[in-house]
Amino acid sequence: MAARGIHVLGDSVTAAPGMPKSGHMANQQAKVCAGAVAALLAGMPVNDDPIIANTCYSFVGAREVIHVASVHRYDREQKTMLPVKGAGGVSSEVSTDEALFAVAWGFNLMNDIFS
Ligand SMILES: Cc1cc2nc3c(=O)[nH]c(=O)nc-3n(C[C@H](O)[C@H](O)[C@H](O)COP(=O)(O)OP(=O)(O)OC[C@H]3O[C@@H](n4cnc5c(N)ncnc54)[C@H](O)[C@@H]3O)c2cc1C
C-alpha cells in the first residue's frame, strides 16, 4: 500500500499477471474497487472472489475484425487476480460477424461508463 485510501487502477498499474491494459479491463477494475469501497463504507463484507473479464476487438480491415478475450479471478493463496485457464482466447480467423460484435461492444462499454 503506497497511500491509504488512494486506489490506482487502469493503465497506470500492472494490476496482475496476464491482465491486459485496456478500457474494458479498467472498467472492470473500477467496478471491483467501487464495490469494495461501498461495502466497507456500509460495514459489509468485501467480495473476496471477484471475477472480471476483458475483450478487445481490432479492425484488421474495413469490415474484418478479430478479438482477444480473457477472464480473471482472485486467487486467495497468491493474493492476486489470475487468468482462468480455458476461459477466453483469440479469434480463430478474421470475421465480418465480429465487426458487429465490436460495434456493439463499444456502444455498450461507452454507455456503461458514461451513463
Ligand atoms: C489506439 C488504441 C486503441 C485501443 N483500443 C482498445 C480497445 O479496443 N479496447 C479496449 O478495451 N481498450 C483499448 N485501448 C486501451 C484503452 O484506451 C486504455 O486501456 C484505457 O483508456 C485506460 O483507461 P485509464 O482510465 O486507465 O487511462 P486513460 O484513458 O489514459 O485516462 C487517464 C487520464 O488521466 C489524465 N491525466 C494524466 N495525467 C494527469 C494529471 N497529472 N492530472 C490530471 N489528469 C491526468 C489523462 O489526460 C487521461 O485523460 C486502446 C488504446 C489505444 C491507444
Residues 94/65, Cβ–Cβ less than 8 Å: yes
Mean pLDDT in residue range 101-114? 95
- For the chain, what are the domain ranges? 10-114
Closest alpha carbon to 22 in 65, 61, 62, 52: 52
What is the CATH code of the structural domain delimited by 10-114? 3.90.760.10
pLDDT per residue as tens digits for the range 33-67: 999 999 999 999 999 999 999 999 999 999 999 99
- Helix segments in the chain, DSSP class H: 23-41, 97-114
**Residue nearest ligand 1's atom 50 by CA:** 22
Residue 94 Cα to ligand 1 midpoint, Å, equals 26
